[in-house]
Amino acid sequence: MNTLLDSLLLSDAFVLIARVVLTFVFWSAGLMGIFAFKAKIAEIRAVGLPQPELFAVAVTIVQLGGSGLIIANIMPWLGAGALAGFLLLTIPIAHPFWKLPEPQRTFKFFLALEHLSLIGGLMVAAALGAFTGQ
């Protein structure tokens, strides 16, 4: 690689922006859980989970806490693991594509694939955190 590109990719600012962008979907949803709590409860109720208020609080904590750990590079493996676990659980709970007729099946299938791809990104964040000694 050339030194300019190396300098960019290894800069603290670039890595911080990458962490913020990677976790955007989580911390923005977590903020929604704070500022639009009733909407978060309705979203959880819609997938049929019991005690939606409790789940709304737990999900918000995971989304904000996991994002915060990754962004701050404090135990990013823990934040990435929590968010990856959350994503894996949402596939059978919120996106059970195998139970749906078309075209909903295909739409939910692609959401599940996006979740898996994001889990890959979280795995990279965990690995890089380990590489930097976090």
Cβ neighbourhood burial of 3 (10 Å; 0-12, 13-18, 19+): exposed
Query: Which amino acid does the sequence have at 28?
Result: S
Q: What's the Rg (C-alpha) of the chain? A: 17
How far is CA 51 from each of CA 48, 111, 126, rounded to the nearest angstrom? 9, 25, 31
pLDDT tens per residue across all 134 residues of the chain:
588 998 998 899 999 999 999 999 999 999 999 999 999 999 999 999 999 999 999 999 999 999 999 999 999 999 999 999 999 999 999 999 999 999 999 999 999 999 999 999 999 999 988 877 66
Q: What distances in angstroms separate CA 73 from CA 5, 26, 112, one per listed residue?
A: 22, 16, 27
What are the residue ranges spanned by the domains of the chain?
3-131
